């Protein structure tokens, strides 16, 4: 296999990226290591000029047909901010306004689980690796001055905020959570996703990613399977997403239409909803994509009793394998006649911050219907009493598109006596044992990846079910947040806590404290030790949707 040496900028230390069999380098491979990059260039030794690398349909082509990539060190091309011509003209002022708004969207973030000893200085120091810290404070007891174990931090850039929110953080020896405080509504949050209509079947996620990377960093691409003539593209910057809405774009010669990812029925969904009071969400409904984000189905659907009757509302082609699937309804939202999943049931019910008692019954894809997974027990997902009743968690904190972790069978903190409840080997605090989940782990992976909760871990668990891009990007970016992404500073013991185990150990709750004892562990054998060093992450989620 041929490797291409790539660095972020000229002069930086290069990373070797694997080329494809045909000698090309996938942009997705590039982006796995250099998020946001959209191409390559290199310094021509003869002319001393910088040369661009040919790029077409998600692939980068070596400069020389014969000698391939040669010994050059390539460096990345990143899309220029606001490079769009339209912005330069009529939208210039609004673009500026938008940028200001972006800054305004930075909000104080609450940091939970701080060590008692953590000071405002050390808090600030830690978070400065993510970006400018405008404020860092520890809440203390007024009299004693003792820390209450939580604090607040505010960043100067939204991007830093997003990265911080996507990770967990080892601060002064404790894994801390960072969230948007309850007191802050994120109702003004602008969606980062766009709906891309009129897609043809040959437009794949790489195509979309490559094309839309021109406008800004693409963090996710979702193409419903089976083919439904639309897809979703998520940008890091919601402004970019918004700026594209309403436009037609040509991808592979096809005119696609970009619009807001919010379902068209959004406005009047409140009075439809909840027609089918049982088994509508159905267990196949765990589509990892939620076009509107924070609507996790407010319930009313939990009477699925584990039969094989999967009713996919709307959508049509629920040509799932095995079992008896029938489609009910033809409504729903979507564009251009695409039935986006029907959702005549309780999919969208409340008007804000849903999921109060919800489970994971949304079935956005309607016909998508998860046509795989004949062996896995999906029915577990539709447990009518699956907890998470109004406990907030991520859901009510305004964080868009977060999964119902409990519905996914995931606990957010390990349990251990020797480390104060902190699972030191699990950076995200996601008590996840893919092999013990009552559902398709690939789906969980997809969901978590979708929601940016899980990235690198998956490759430690099952090479066939890797999550991918977004979180791994978040976590790995610039390598300076290793605390958050690469744990096990001092090693862990081999044994039950090694997520590579395919047995019953793993990250499930109730691991022995010993196995979670990171600090005391002997060196070597780090189970969670590393995030990807290659491009293995770039697995199209749609493979298992």
Gap between the Cα atoms of 286 and 443, Å rounded: 7
139 binding DNA? (CB under 7 A): yes
Residue 94: closest CA among 234, 311, 215, 239: 239
Return the closest-CA partner of residue 213 out of 40, 63, 42, 68.
40
How far apart CA 424 and CA 492 sit, in angstroms, is 9
Nearer to DNA by Cβ, of 113 and 368: the residue is 113
Applying the rule CB under 7 A, the residues between 368 and 397 that interact with DNA are 391-392, 397
Min. distance of Cβ 188 from DNA in angstroms?
14
Q: Verify binding: residue 115, DNA, rule CB under 7 A.
A: yes
Closest approach, Cβ 430 to DNA, in A, equals 16
Handedness of CA 166, 172, 174, 180 (dihedral sign): negative
Min dist CB 423 to DNA, Å, is 12
The answer to whether residue 137 forms part of the interface with DNA (CB under 7 A) is yes
Closer Cβ to DNA, 392 or 522, answer by number: 392
Q: Which of 179, 225, 228, 313 binds DNA (CB under 7 A)?
A: 179
Binds DNA (CB under 7 A): choice among 144, 187, 250, 375: 144
DSSP, collapsed to helix, strand or coil, labels residue 305 as coil
Pairing verdict, β 133-140 and 147-155:
antiparallel
Span 411-450, contacts to DNA by CB under 7 A: 413, 420-421
Q: With CB under 7 A as the contact rule, which of the stretches 103-111, 224-232, 301-309, 353-361 interacts with DNA?
A: 103-111
Q: 178 or 265: whose CB is closer to DNA? A: 178
471 Cβ contact list (under 8 Å, min separation 6)? 166, 448, 449, 452, 453, 454, 455, 456
End-to-end CA gap in the chain: 30
- How many whole angstroms separate alpha carbon 312 and alpha carbon 291? 17
**Rounded distance, CA 429 to CA 422, Å?**
8
Smallest distance, DNA to C-beta of residue 130, A:
17
Q: How many CB atoms lie within 10 A of CB 491?
A: 17
What is the smallest separation between the CB atom of 111 and DNA, expressed in angstroms? 9
Region of 68-76, 178-186, 286-294, 321-329 interacting with DNA (CB under 7 A): 178-186
* Site for DNA contains 344 (CB under 7 A): no
How many chain residues are in contact with DNA, going by CB under 7 A? 30
Binding flag, residue 150, DNA (CB under 7 A): yes
With contacts defined by CB under 7 A, name the span among 23-31, 87-95, 113-121, 511-519 that binds DNA. Answer: 113-121
| CB-nearer residue toward DNA: 105 or 184 | 184
**CB neighbours of residue 169 within 10 Å:** 22
Instruction: Sketch the per residue contact string, 55 through 94, with DNA: x for CB under 7 A, - otherwise.
Output: ----------------------------------------
In the complex, the smallest distance separating the C-beta of residue 107 from DNA, rounded to whole angstroms, is 7
Segment lying near DNA (by CB under 7 A), choices 91-99, 112-120, 374-382, 447-455: 112-120
User: Closer to DNA at the Cβ: 29 or 107?
Assistant: 107
In this chain, which of 64, 100, 112, 254 binds DNA, going by CB under 7 A? 112
Query: Could you say which residues in the range 510-529 bind DNA, by CB under 7 A?
Result: none
What's the min distance (Å) between Cβ of 137 and DNA?
Answer: 6
Edge-first strand order for the sheet with 25-26 is 25-26, 59-60, 55-56
Out of 182, 309, 319, 351, the only residue in the binding site for DNA (CB under 7 A) is 182
For position 142 contacting DNA by CB under 7 A, the verdict is: yes
Nearest residue (CB) to DNA, 114 versus 458: 114
Q: Which stretch binds DNA (CB under 7 A): 104-112, 300-308, 449-457, 511-519?
A: 104-112
Q: Which CB sits closer to DNA, 275 or 420?
A: 420
Question: How near is the Cβ of 147 to DNA at its closest, in Å?
Answer: 7
- Pairwise CA distance, residues 428 & 271, whole Å: 38
Nearer to DNA, 111 or 258 (CB): 111
How far is residue 233's CA from residue 208's CA, in Å, rounded to a whole number?
Answer: 7
Q: Is 17 exposed, middle or buried (0-12, 13-18, 19+ CB in 10 A)?
A: buried
The yes or no reply on residue 107 touching DNA (CB under 7 A) is yes
Stretch that binds DNA, among 173-181, 194-202, 336-344, 484-492 (CB under 7 A): 173-181
Structure tokens at 160: 């830093």
Q: Which of 465, 462, 485, 463 is nearest to 473 (CA)?
A: 485
Give start and end residues of each alpha helix (H) in 469-539.
469-476, 482-485, 513-516
The number of angstroms, rounded, from the C-alpha of 157 to the middle of its chain's C-alpha atoms is 19
Residue 175 backbone phi and psi in degrees, to 5 = -80, 125
Nearer to DNA, 34 or 394 (CB): 394
- Phi (first) and psi of residue 541, to 5 degrees: -60, -30
For every residue of 166-211, DSSP letters joined together read HS-EEETTEEEEEE--TTS--TTPPP-EEEEES--TT--HHHHHHH
- List residues near DNA by CB under 7 A: 107-108, 110, 112-116, 135, 137, 139, 142, 144, 146, 148-150, 152, 174, 179, 181-184, 391-392, 397, 413, 420-421
């Amino acid at each position: 296999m041929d490797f291409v040496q790539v660095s972020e900028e000229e002069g930086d230390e290069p990373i070797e990226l694997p080329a494809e069999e045909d000698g090309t380098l996938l942009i997705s491979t590039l982006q796995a290591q250099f998020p946001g990059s959209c191409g390559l260039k290199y310094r021509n030794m003869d002319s001393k000029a910088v040369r661009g690398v040919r790029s077409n349909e998600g692939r980068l082509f070596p400069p020389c047909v014969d000698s391939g990539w040669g010994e050059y060190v390539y460096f990345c091309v990143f899309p220029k901010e606001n490079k769009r011509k339209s912005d330069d003209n009529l939208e210039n002022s609004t673009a500026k306004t938008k940028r200001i708004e972006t800054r305004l969207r930075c909000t104080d973030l609450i940091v939970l689980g701080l060590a008692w000893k953590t000071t405002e200085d050390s808090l600030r120091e830690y978070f400065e690796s993510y970006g400018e810290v405008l404020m860092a404070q520890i809440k203390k007891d007024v009299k004693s001055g003792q820390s209450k174990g939580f604090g607040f931090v505010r960043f100067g850039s939204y991007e830093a905020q997003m990265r911080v929110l996507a990770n967990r953080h080892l601060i002064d020896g404790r894994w801390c959570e960072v969230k948007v405080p309850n007191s802050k509504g994120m109702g003004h949050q602008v969606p980062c996703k766009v709906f891309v209509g009129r897609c043809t079947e040959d437009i794949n996620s790489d195509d979309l990613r490559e094309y839309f990377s021109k406008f800004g960093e693409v963090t996710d691409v979702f193409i419903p399977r089976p083919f439904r003539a639309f897809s979703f593209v998520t940008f890091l910057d919601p402004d970019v997403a918004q700026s594209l809405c309403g436009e037609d774009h040509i991808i592979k010669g096809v005119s696609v239409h970009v619009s807001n990812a919010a379902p068209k029925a959004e406005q009047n969904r409140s009075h439809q909803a909840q027609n089918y009071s049982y088994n509508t969400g159905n267990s196949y409904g765990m589509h990892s994509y939620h076009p509107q984000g924070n609507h996790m189905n407010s319930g009313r659907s939990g009477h699925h009793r584990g039969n094989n009757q999967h009713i996919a509302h709307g959508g049509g082609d629920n040509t799932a394998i095995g079992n008896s699937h029938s489609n009910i309804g033809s409504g729903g939202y979507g564009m251009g006649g695409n039935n986006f999943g029907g959702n005549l049931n309780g999919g969208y019910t409340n008007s804000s911050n849903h999921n109060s008692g919800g489970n994971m019954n949304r079935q956005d894809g309607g016909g998508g219907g998860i046509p795989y997974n004949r062996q896995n027990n999906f029915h577990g997902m539709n447990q009518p009493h699956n907890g998470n009743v109004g406990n907030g968690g991520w859901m009510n904190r305004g964080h868009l598109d977060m999964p119902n972790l409990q519905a996914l069978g995931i606990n957010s903190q390990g349990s251990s006596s020797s480390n104060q409840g902190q699972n030191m080997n699990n950076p995200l605090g996601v008590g996840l044992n893919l092999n013990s989940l009552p559902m398709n782990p690939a789906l969980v992976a997809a969901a978590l990846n979708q929601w940016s909760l899980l990235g690198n871990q998956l490759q430690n668990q099952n090479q066939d079910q890797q999550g991918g891009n977004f979180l791994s990007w978040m976590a790995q970016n610039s390598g300076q947040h290793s605390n958050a992404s690469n744990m096990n500073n001092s090693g862990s013991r081999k044994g039950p806590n090694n997520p590579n185990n395919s047995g019953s150990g793993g990250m499930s709750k109730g691991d022995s404290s010993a196995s979670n004892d990171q600090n005391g562990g002997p060196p070597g054998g780090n189970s969670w030790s590393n995030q990807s060093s290659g491009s293995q992450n770039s697995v199209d989620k749609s493979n298992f949707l």
